[in-house]
Structure 1
Amino acid sequence: MSYTAIGMAAGAALAWAALVYGFWGFLLMAVFLVIGGLLGRVAEGKLDLRSVRDALTGRRSSS
């Protein structure tokens, strides 16, 4: 599945949440989509949580 198709599906899900549940449902759906995306990156091995934690705490540069 291409990134365009994934983005369109995410946009459709957010639009549905906005129409059905209003602003707070939209916001909650957006938060869950971001969390799901991050968990997917971790599962694929494309995101190392230790390096993210170290960069956020100032132990190491992010670049």
Structure 2
Amino acid sequence: MNRSSLGALAGLALGLAGWFGGFGAFLVVALCGAAGWAVGHLLEDEEARQRLWDRLDRSGGPGEGRRRAR
């Protein structure tokens, strides 16, 4: 399936959710679609996954800055 067809299907899903479920359903479908795209992108692209891991590794864990400040 090419990107144009996938975009058309996503647009149809958002349109149907907005028509039958209202604006709240539209937002839920849009957020789920964006999350699915992000996960799919990370699973498909090795370089993007490595950049994410590098960024997470450099940022440290929660409270990391407080421990170093002592």
TM band (smaller chain): 0.7 to 0.9
Structure 2 residue aligned with 1:3: 3
**In the TM superposition, what whole-angstrom CA distance separates every residue of 1:37-61 from its partner, at most 9, and x where no partner exists?**
011111112532225657xx6xxxx
Identity value in percent: 31
Are residue 50 (structure 1) and residue 58 (structure 2) matched? no
Structure 1 unaligned regions, length at least 5: 58-63
CA RMSD of aligned residues (A): 1.8
The structure number with the bigger radius of gyration is 2
**Structure 1 or 2: larger helix share?**
2
Q: What is the alpha-carbon distance in structure 1 between the residues aligned to residue 15 and residue 6 of structure 2?
A: 14
TM-score (norm 2): 0.67
- Structure 1 runs of 4+ with >6 Å offset: none
Q: How does 1:1-63 map to 2 (within 5 A)?
A: 1-46=1-46, 47-48=48-49, 49-51=52-54, 53=56
- TM-score computed with the length of structure 1 as normaliser: 0.74
- Work out the number of aligned pairs and report it: 55
Q: Which runs of 5+ in 2 are unaligned?
A: 60-70
